[in-house]
Structure 1
Amino acid sequence: MKVVGVETFGGPEALAVHEVPEPHAGPGTVRIRVQAFAVNPTDTGVREGQRDSSEASPPYVPGMDAAGVIDEVGPDVTDWQVGDQVMAMALPLSEHGGAYVEHLVAPVGSFTRIPAGLSIEEAATVPMNGLTALQILGRAGLSEGDTLAVTGAAGLLGNYVVQLAKQRGITVVADAAPKDEDLVRSLGPDHMVRRGDGFAAAVRGIVHDGVDALADAAVQRDEVVDAVRDGGFFADVRGWEGNGARGIRFERIMVFSEYTSFDLLEELRRAVEDGVLTPRVAEVLPASRAAEAHERLAAGGTRGRFVLTW
């Protein structure tokens, strides 16, 4: 089967289409004929060799989001059948590998049905970022009426955090650059502040003592931590352990642990069907243009996800 990956770690130009042996479903798994897979910032870490690859072999295949149709079912799998349309989270460099593949073997629990009315391409943007957003909100432990600030609200992860937080009755302060104000406003935050310098002061101008929690989807860290109240919560999505300030609880959000969180995937499916969550596709490209998608992602300013198809 065809996969997109790298033989040698490097920049976007290292990505190429490779032929590898076709996998098959075994006990506790299904095989998905992948029709679309999303390009996420985390994929660059696999491509560049920033992740532990000791248990994998080349070509190293990125990708954590896939959507397609089940075409094989393991012998002990009873709730799924050939022909089911599903969206799945994948784990690169692990037993079943990343999502940039024609066929993905997926353990039961790592996928769910595509939301009604959603295209395959749109569905490919939901699992990993949605699970990350739910993990942030779960770790924050916020209740209705509590306050949450979101950096990078115009990006897809920020979109999902804002929308899922509002569903829970949380008061949301979201950042936006001038060009993104209409997009961020459409997500329904209670307040918007200018992205960049002055974010923390602007948040404090709205919530004097600081917000209860901050989801730092823009990875601004020390620049924005003053927006959080003493003893509040700070979610980092790139492994930062925090600066120990004012009793703030700093947590590193690691979505890999949600690999088989079926109940959360079902929550995301329902959120899309109920109009709570809005998947966003920047552009659909053929898989052969993966290097271009990575280059354009690195250039910044993308709203939604590039989605690659076979």
Structure 2
Amino acid sequence: MFYSIHEKEIREVALEQIDSHDICVGYLTLEELRKCYDKLGLSEVAVKDCMTDFTHFRTSIDVYDEFSFGMINIVDILNLSSKRNRIGFFIKKNLFIIVKIIDKGDSIRQMFQDAIGRFRQNATMEKVIYGVLERLLSSGNRGLVMTERQIIAMEREVVNGKIDEDLNKEIFDLRNRLSTLKNYYDQLIDIGEALQENENDLFEEEDLRYFKIFTDKSERLSNNTQLLCDNLIHLREALDATLNYNLNNTMKLFTIVTIIFQPLTLIAGWYGMNFTNMPELVWRFGYVYVIVLSITVVAGILFYFKKKKYM
């Protein structure tokens, strides 16, 4: 699928109809790339990179004297656990080619066609590239809003003392997801900055602003993602503080119980010795006396704790 941009108007053309004087943008599968890369003047080494599997961790751009080549592993921002789509792209003077490497649901083709439709009038190659890259960020704000609401819900649980035993795991999983997003946005920033620098002079100077717009959007999403990561750190600290507070309350209860029973233990031990000359043993009210003494001691300790606000 090829489109020619002539006098800033886009029209679909076949490979044989491509005019070297016109700007051309295209979408190819790997099989189509194998057949026509030589005719398009694409680097054989870069083409082989598209076809090797080790690139599944790669999201970057390489800038050469006459062309730029990049790979993007597309993160589904709303479903990070899903299998990632992958594209390669070639940029030469007056030529931009997207290569579908992995695509579920034909979404990459749709992304390319949306970019073409968006800039059908007054089109330039830079605008089409921007349209494709900008679609990678389309769900960014929505994803951040959903994550922020999830963090707020967790904070509400911590404040209300409704601490679920799985909350720590949820925080860890969310932190891992945000870290993945942050790395993804940072890689897109690198691509945007490389395009904006225009080292190999492939772009018109006046259209470099589109790459700056893309880079700025990626930076904002990256910064907002980092802000949510910081919020998660604060949430984790609040959770730890709450757990420590609850633990301290438990230890406080055990301490109070121990303090109350210590004098009772002393009384029980004292009068359990059964010495012959112990007057309380033969006293008529000795048993009642010990009961009253124990109650008095407990009441005195409780009164003291209340007065000092230990309870």
Q: Radius of gyration: which is bigger?
A: 2
TM-score (normalised: structure 2) = 0.23
Select the structure with the greater relative contact order (CA < 8 A; seq sep ≥ 6).
Answer: 1
TM-score (normalised: structure 1) = 0.23
Q: Which has the larger share of helix?
A: 2
